[in-house]
Amino acid sequence: MISKSKLHYFKALSQKKGRDKVGVFLVEGWRNVEEAMGAAGGIEILLYTKEAKGESRYSSLFSAALKRSREPLEVTAKEFGQIADTVTGQGIAAVVKRFSLDVESEIRRLLIKENAFVLGADHIADPGNLGAIIRTADWFGIDAIILSPGTVDLYNPKVVRSTAGSIFHLPIVSSIEAAGSFEQSLKDLQSGGFRLYGASVKGKGDLRSVKWPKKSFLVIGSEARGISEEAAALLDEHIAIPKFGKAESLNAGVAAGIFLSHASFQLRK
């Protein structure tokens, strides 16, 4: 049994307000715990049930996680159910420090690279979509992701789970919650030689004809209204995925995958 105050602390991590207050977030499942062990901040608290502890196929991983965690804590299955975001959890989770990437520092790092492909997520509201975008960007070796203010919190449990560990693999920076912060990032990259593209169903450019330069920035807009007017005004080109069927639109995560596969295959020939 854990104390009521401790239980309240863990449950508070399901909310952005709670995560912001203490500077940590919760990852669930064996895969994410394994990835968290290699993260710079390591594991603050390892939460596990008796059943998870007895999982023979994960015995070596569990032993390693115990050694890497600052505070191992066994909880009952009922307590874990109150803490976990998933209905059918695996009985193991970790409290991890949030990343502290600075937008300006990351922009400077990208500007000095000879080749760089950066992805911008503009007001992506659905956690599953953002998680899928991050996972896809990781698959194709994207250099960084920049999130606009108004995009769902990076540490939302559903986002973290949807990334399947990719949240720990590539630089992801959130623009500060201030008007114009995302647009300023676009301007800085554009001034440094990046060509800015926007994924748009109404784009005049055809994805099949795009010749991606060595420094490219692609903005994926929100599911409901696309790219914001402020960001759209800065883009060098709006490009669309050719449509051959009757669907009205594509899921943001799927669209990102199509764009990134096209760009990656071309740039890595």
Q: What is the per-residue pLDDT across 18-50, written as a single tens digit (0 to 9) for each?
A: 999 999 999 999 999 999 988 767 899 999 999
70 SS3 class? strand
Q: Is 87 a residue whose pLDDT tops 70?
A: no
Which of residues 101 and 4 earns the better pLDDT score? 4
Cα angle 119, 162, 73 (rounded to 5 degrees) comes to 125
Tens-digit pLDDT profile for residues 107-163: 999 999 999 999 999 999 999 999 999 999 999 999 999 999 999 999 999 999 999
**Amino acid sitting at position 198:** G
Predicted model pTM? 0.91
CA atoms within 13 A on the CB side of 202: 5
Q: What is the pLDDT of residue 269?
A: 67
Q: What is the pLDDT of residue 196?
A: 97
Residue 222's CB is within 10 A of a number of other CB atoms, namely 19
Measured distance CA(230)–CA(234) in Å, rounded:
7
Token pair for 61: 């991983």
Closest CA to 206 of 214, 197, 215: 197
Q: Give me the domains of the chain, ranges plus CATH numbers.
A: 4-97 (3.30.1330.30), 103-267 (3.40.1280.10)
Q: What is the pLDDT of residue 1?
A: 72
pLDDT bucket at 223, cuts 50 / 70 / 90: confident
Q: What is the pLDDT of residue 15?
A: 93
Measured distance CA(240)–CA(134) in Å, rounded:
21
pLDDT bucket at 234, cuts 50 / 70 / 90: very high
